[in-house]
Amino acid sequence: MAVTDLESLPVETPRSVYVHVPFCRHRCGYCNFTLVAGRDYLIADYLKAIELELNKIKTPLEVDTIYLGGGTPSRLPPQDLQTLLNLLDNKFRLAEGGEFTMEANPDDIPGEIDVVIRDSAINRISLGIQSFSLPKLRSLDRDHDLSQIDRAVDSVRQIVDRFSIDLIFAAPHDSHSIWREDLSRGVASGATHISTYELTFEKGTLFWNRKRRKQIHSPPEELCVTYYNTAIEHLSESGFVHYEISSFAKLNQRSRHNQVYWNGQPYWAFGPGASGFVNGERYTNHRAVKRYLKQVLNGQSAIEESRLLTGQETAIDQIVFGLRLIEGIDLCQFEQQTGYRLKDLVPAESLSAWAEAELLTLDKNRLRLTSRGILFADTICSQISMSEPADAQATLPKPPDS
């Protein structure tokens, strides 16, 4: 059913790199990321493993974006961060105007690490502030306080021109006035990019267990929607463009790296639990950090699972990721890139049901979620992922107030 045969489309060499740094001081109660808490003695082995993993890059490549995520990359002692940067520098050259982001926690900056960052190619920092309210930070198990945030922001502004902050809403003991204050202070910090996340209770986390025991509660769905809409309103009025479900940017300050994911482009990934997309194959490295280290240091593959996607799966992924963008998907471009038409992939009945419910619009060949549809993005996208076009039935997601 494809318009063209995907096999005949050129395979793109990735121009983006993600490196996962799995070290944290302690594990925050809501966090289910791949990490080791309070086990910095593993850093030396981690760096050796990254060096071995990077050996799959035979000749240095030019890339447009590099992202050091975690965990907490700023947790690395300065000399170890320098070693990691040198290893990357041996394999990847950042193109002129490229973007190199590093995640940092406010309790690590300022410090000796500032010099390493300033002298490196890192030109964007993503600061995990989460909130400007001390009780809210403590309810989230975060260590930093308000003076650390102020010092970190001052320091970051001196090191890089572009910085992003993360803010969480719907935390235990959150309130509308705290959330408004978080947004105001986030704007006042001078951040060029703000990501807002609803606190989620992931299976296996401390918070998930506490919630099961009714020790903490998530706010009602309507309140979460209000928090989210407040963020859109407040940040839009403050000069930020809402360009992705959770992301807001000043002019020309969108995350180039994250757009690679949302546009379905390929990228390399290194480190425990890191997922990459190369030559049509999605792969994920071992998530258990010790297992990852053992594998790689013993000369075995870092990869725990991988799958070569069919052309149809690649195209469906592109719709699912692309719908996260507020401007949606240009269907002409989509057809050219994937060789598929929307109607080959998503049942017409589903599309019309979502359009009738004002969750999704198709206008001037652009498919996008409406502001109401964004609230149902996960449900819509999981239905698209499971689509069987020949006999799929349109089913409407359940609204939160029904």
Using CB under 6 A, list all residues that contact ligand SF4: 24, 27-28, 31, 33, 35, 70-72, 105, 128
Nearer to ligand SF4, 8 or 41 (CB): 41
Enumerate the β-bridge partners of residue 306: 283
Look up residue 223 and give its amino acid.
Answer: L
Nearer to ligand SF4, 28 or 345 (CB): 28
Nearer to ligand SF4, 33 or 208 (CB): 33
Look up residue 397 and give its amino acid.
Answer: P
Nearer to ligand SF4, 27 or 294 (CB): 27
Mark out the alpha helices in 205-341 (DSSP H runs).
206-212, 221-237, 256-262, 289-297, 311-322, 331-338
**Closest distance of CB 362 from ligand SF4, Å:** 38
Question: Which residue's CB comes closest to ligand SF4?
Answer: 31
Nearer to ligand SF4, 207 or 270 (CB): 207
**Closest distance of CB 75 from ligand SF4, Å:** 8
108-141: b (≥16 Cβ within 10 Å) or e: bbbbebbebbeebebbbbbbbbbbbbeebbebbe
Tokens, residue 181: 């204050």
Nearest in space to 32 (alpha carbons), one of 141, 137, 121, 134: 141
Nearest in space to 198 (alpha carbons), one of 233, 174, 234: 174
**Closest distance of CB 150 from ligand SF4, Å:** 19
DSSP structural state of residue 325 = B
**Closest distance of CB 67 from ligand SF4, Å:** 14
Nearer to ligand SF4, 285 or 318 (CB): 285
Instruction: List the strands of the sheet with 275-278, edge to edge.
Output: 275-278, 281-285, 303-308
**Closest distance of CB 71 from ligand SF4, Å:** 5
